Chain A
Amino acid sequence: MKRWQWWLLPLGIFLVLVVFLGVGLTLNPREVPSPLIGKPAPPFELPQLHEPQKTFSQKDVAGKVWLLNVWASWCAPCREEHPLWVELAKANVAPIYGLNYKDKRADSIAWLQRYGNPYVLSVSDSQGRIGIDYGVYGVPETYVIDKRGVIRFKQIGPVTPTVLKEKILPLIAKLNENT
């Protein structure tokens, strides 16, 4: 490198830095992506919300593409996304299962009665242990799980119509095509 080019080094480093900072403006530093994508859904066996004497496990849905939605009656954003799930359930695209996170049974049942129940069934994770296994750190969160029980997508925060249309529905369609 010629002598005069050394003097340009600080400028060069600075410009590289600026490019990264510019890209950084488009990112969300608070979002924690899931390390579970591409890995098998963590196993669980939890009592069902409406029939607590019965349990449900992720094994029971093997062979189908399904959605796991983490929700709670005390969670305000859940109310925002809930109508979308109710709609989706009617469309019968994929079964939606609910993970009722750190909630009280009576409150949850009342909430579903009030806002509609799109879930095939919900399980009660009253201690939040299964939530931890799934890397849940806020509510709501949603997982798309394929026929072999592998997590393929995680939505952090409420699902929006755009996310549904552009990410979740196409993914479900693609996963359904594979045998």
Chain B
Amino acid sequence: MIPELGQFALALALILALTQGTLPLVGAARGMPSWMNLARPAAQGQFVFVAIAFGCLTYSFINNDFSVLYVASNSNSALPLQYRIAGVWGGHEGSLLLWVLMLSLWTMAVSVFSSHLPDDIIARVLGVLGLISVGFLSFMLFTSNPFDRLLPAAMDGRDLNPLLQDPGMVLHPPMLYMGYVGFSVAFAFAISALLSGRLDATWARWSRPWTTTAWMFLTLGIALGSWWAYYELGWGGWWFWDPVENASFMPWLMGTALIHSLAVTEKRGAFKSWTVLLAIFAFALSLLGTFLVRSGVITSVHAFATDPKRGIFILAFLVIVIGGSLALFAWRAHRVGLGGHFEVVSRETFLLTNNVLLVVAAGAVLLGTLYPLFLDALGLGKLSVGPPYFEIVFVVLMAPALFLMGVGPLARWKQASLPELAVRLKWAFVVSVVTALLLPLTMGQWTPLASFGLLLALWIVASSVTTLWSRLKQTPGASLSKKLRAQSRSYYGMLLAHVGVAVFVVGVTMVKSYEAEKDVRLAIGDTVELGGYAFRFDGLNEVKGPNYTAVRGTLTVTRGGAGVATMYPEKRIYNVQKNAMTEAAINTGFTRDLYVSLGEPVGDNAWVVRVQVKPFVDWIWGGCVLMALGGLLAVLDRRYRVAARARTREDALAAGAAAAS
């Protein structure tokens, strides 16, 4: 009963989405308020029904309803509760339902937090979001129904892939989808601006908080995925330039370019068409990611069960949505005016240069990801494009962008002077160079790559300090704390996010330059030394988990004789799927991680054990969290509390009128 209820709810949601996607758009084009006003209730109704459907699927998982094919394929009665819930989005059909739930959530949010928007704009934005919903809901109902029955019902389920049975899996997809789907809001704003012909700074102001929030979630989602791969997959890597990872990274790059471009458009009303194009690109890359993961076009460990029929559907959807928007762009965008004037050297230019570099980086990642497909399609052979390519290309493209990150915030809008900037940043530059040359020596070995990476990171921090100092000097105020409080939250958000990037760069540089690894055969009692730490293999015993049995090793770690930690790596066999899983033991520290994983047994009570010391690896994800926090600060900026502002303005006008009369 419940699955059928869920399916029915989806069908109702589809009908509401169709309404939401057609009538308000027509109403906005023809100026019919009654049709435009259908948008909000349709959006809210759609959310209710999608939530009901999601609830039904979750219920089926929790209650082990193996008469539902999707539940039988992705769950098991012995699976702990939290993973039964996470199993809802563990496979293709359920993850699509999660996508649609996120989309209806964002749509709901837009319909609620948009009282200050004109009716035709909100009608168009919700209308576009409705059309996207129609696409995904029909995709689900016609090709990937999570509520398909399995009759006769299975005795027990096939279990969730053991790799997915951990906390990272519970958080990573929802966070990631919040980001992906969030860019659809920026996209909807862009399309509605093109449709209405009202492409101005106001549009950028409306769009900005939504885009920044989506970007924030995507940052966290990608960071979670990387951290999860690190501790779950067992060999200490945290980014593989796997096609599906790239599929999430490209929208992030484009989204970063977009939030910077929106700053130019909002502040100066300039480069409006370019910003619209970026918004379309960001969402297009989200959709492309969906296509790549689910169509079987590329090999990836992340790819869902592949089915070319589904691939055709998504491709058709891609053509309609993106092809349509780019056609609309070609038609409408060139009529837009130039906007605010600015000199060749100005903050606008720095922001736009950042844009070019980020877009080219996204393009390079796209090229590398799809190149094997291009060659194969042209019959020119098969090749692979892996980490060696991406690392070289990405670093070369991003290094200038990181350098500019220090200069941009200090430059004035409209007109800046290079000599003046050079003078102001002289101190920051010197400090960065000197520190970057000396710091690697503390790690024991000087490498040019380590120095260069540290230089970029230190440069960002030093120039951010310089910018803040210069800003505080210009701010009127009696005391330092008053001056600090006078700055807007979005200003601190920017500084925090940039510092987050610096922290990230430190993490990547240090790990790549100084990580150490040893793969050795250890018998009980043997010790292996690495990076100043001594790892003693103390014992092995058998452990039973809720749905697995494992061999657990015990290693005692000391440094200079003093005890540091005891680590328990495991090799698990899950009862249902019978595959062996390596659970690495990680000792987390501020300046390094110790990473131990069991390899294979060799001989009598001896194992091949892999021991790694990874300096500053947690700074990678720490940096990402700082970036996301920066985004959060920017969104919480007081100027977005529109209602509060409107009130204060009314009060001020009233007081002024009373005083004048």
Partner-B contacts on A (CB < 8 A): 3-4, 7-8, 10-11, 14-15, 17-18, 20-27, 29-33
B297 within 8 A of A: yes
Whether A27 touches B381, Cβ cut-off 8 Å, given contacts A3-B334, A21-B291, A21-B297, is no
Chain B residues positioned under 8 Å from A15 (CB to CB): 323
Closest approach, in angstroms, between the C-beta of B562 and any C-beta of chain A? Answer: 48
Q: Is B468 an interface residue (CB 8 A)?
A: no
Q: Are B284 and A14 in contact (CB under 8 A)?
A: yes
Provide the residues of chain A in CB contact with B308, threshold 8 Å.
Answer: 25-26
B323/A29 in contact, CB under 8 A: no
Bound CA–CA A33/B312 (angstroms) = 25
Query: Does B334 lie within 8 Å of A21, measured CB to CB?
Result: no
CB atoms of B372 and A29 under 8 A apart: yes
Q: A29-B297, A32-B382 are in contact. Are A24 and B376 (CB under 8 A)?
A: yes
Are A20's CB and B318's CB within 8 A?
no
What 1/0 mask marks residues of chain B from 313 to 342 whose CB sits below 8 Å from any chain A CB? 001001100110011011001100000000
Answer whether A7 and B329 are a contact pair too, CB < 8 Å, given A18-B315, A21-B291, A29-B298.
Answer: yes
**Contact of B539 with A by CB under 8 A:** no
**How distant is A18 from chain B, measured CB to nearest CB, in Å?**
6
Q: Which residues from chain A contact B372 at a C-beta distance below 8 Å?
A: 29
Q: Please, which residues of chain B bring their CB within 8 A of the CB of A22?
A: 312, 315
A27 touches B334 (CB 8 A): no
Top-10 shortest CB links A-B = A11-B326, A23-B377, A24-B297, A7-B330, A8-B330, A24-B373, A29-B299, A25-B311, A25-B308, A10-B326
Distance in angstroms between the alpha carbons of A132 and B41 in the assembled complex: 64
Q: How far is the CB of A171 from chain B (nearest CB, A)?
A: 19
Q: Is there contact, CB below 8 Å, between B284 and A25?
A: no
CB-CB nearest in chain B for A32? B382
Contacts of B280 in A (CB 8 A): 10
A27 touches B326 (CB 8 A): no
Distance in angstroms from A13 CB to nearest chain B CB is 9
Task: Contact check, A20 vs B323: say whether CB atoms are below 8 A apart.
Answer: no
Taking a contact as CB atoms under 8 Å apart, the answer to whether A20 and B284 are in contact is no
CB distance A7 to B333 under 8 Å? Answer: yes
How many angstroms between the C-alpha atoms of A3 and B333 in the bound complex?
Answer: 12
Task: Note all chain A residues with C-beta closer than 8 A to B389.
Answer: none
Q: Given A14-B322, A18-B315, 9 more contacts at CB 8 Å?
A: A14-B323, A22-B312, A25-B297, A25-B311, A25-B315, A26-B308, A29-B297, A29-B376, A33-B381
Partner of A14, one of B326, B334, B370, B374: B326
Indicate if the CB atoms of A11 and B297 lie closer than 8 Å.
Answer: no
Q: Within the assembled complex, what's the spacing in Å between the Cα atoms of A27 and B94? A: 26
Judge whether B318 and A18 touch: CB under 8 Å.
yes
Chain A residues touching B, majority SS = helix
* B168 / chain A contacts, CB cutoff of 8 Å: none
> A33, B382: Cβ atoms under 8 Å?
yes
Instruction: Report B280-318 CB contacts with A as 1/0, cut-off 8 Å.
Output: 110010000001000111110000000010011001001
Q: Which residues of A contact B374 (CB under 8 A)?
A: 20
Per the CB 8 Å criterion, the residue count for chain B at the interface is 32
Q: Which residues of B contact A11 (CB under 8 A)?
A: 323, 326-327, 329-330
Chain B residue contacts of A8, Cβ below 8 A: 330
Let me know if B636 is at the binding interface, CB within 8 A: no
- The complex places the Cα of A65 from the Cα of B295 at a distance, in Å, of 40
A-B contact pairs, 10 of them (CB 8 A): A4-B330, A10-B280, A11-B323, A21-B291, A21-B315, A24-B298, A25-B312, A27-B373, A29-B296, A29-B298
Complex CA distance for A72 and B370, rounded to whole angstroms: 36
CB distance from B46 to the nearest CB of A (A): 28
Is B319 within 8 A of A18, CB to CB?
Answer: yes
Cβ–Cβ < 8 Å partners of B330 in chain A? 4, 7-8, 10-11
Of listed A8, A14, A22, A30, residue having the most chain B CB within 10 A: A14
Contacts of A7 in B (CB 8 A): 329-330, 333-334
Residue among A4, A8, A31 with max Cβ neighbours from chain B (10 Å): A8
* Contact pick for A25, options B296, B323, B334, B370, CB 8 Å: B296
* B154 on interface, CB distance cutoff 8 Å: no
B381 & A30 in contact (Cβ 8 Å cutoff) = no
Chain B residues within an 8 Å CB radius of A24: 295, 297-298, 373, 376-377
Q: How far is the CA of A115 from the CA of B592 in the complex (A)?
A: 58
Q: How far is the CA of A14 from the CA of B287 in the complex (A)?
A: 13
Q: A20-B370, A24-B377, A25-B312 are in contact. Are A10 and B297 (CB under 8 A)?
A: no
What residue of chain A has the Cβ atom nearest to residue B363's Cβ? A13
| Known pairs A10-B277, A29-B297, A30-B299; A21 contacts B329 (CB<8 A) | no
Alpha-carbon distance A10/B372, docked complex (angstroms): 22
Which chain A residues border B311 with CB–CB below 8 Å?
25
Chain B residues near A17: list those with CB within 8 A: 370
- How far does the alpha carbon of A30 sit from the alpha carbon of B372 in the complex, in Å? 11
Interchain nearest-CB distance for A17 vs B (Å): 8
Which of these, B319, B322, B323, B376, contacts A27 with CB under 8 Å? B376
> Which of A3, A17, A29 has the most B CB atoms < 10 Å from its CB?
A29
Please give me the residue from chain A that is nearest to B322 by CB atom.
Answer: A14
Q: With a CB–CB cut-off of 8 A, which chain A residues contact B373?
A: 20-21, 24, 27, 29
- Residue of chain A at shortest CB distance from B377: A23
- In the assembled complex, the Cα of A126 lies from the Cα of B333 at a distance in Å of 67
List residues of chain A with CB within 8 A of the CB of B323. Answer: 11, 14-15, 18
Cα distance, A32 to B298, chains bound together (Å): 13
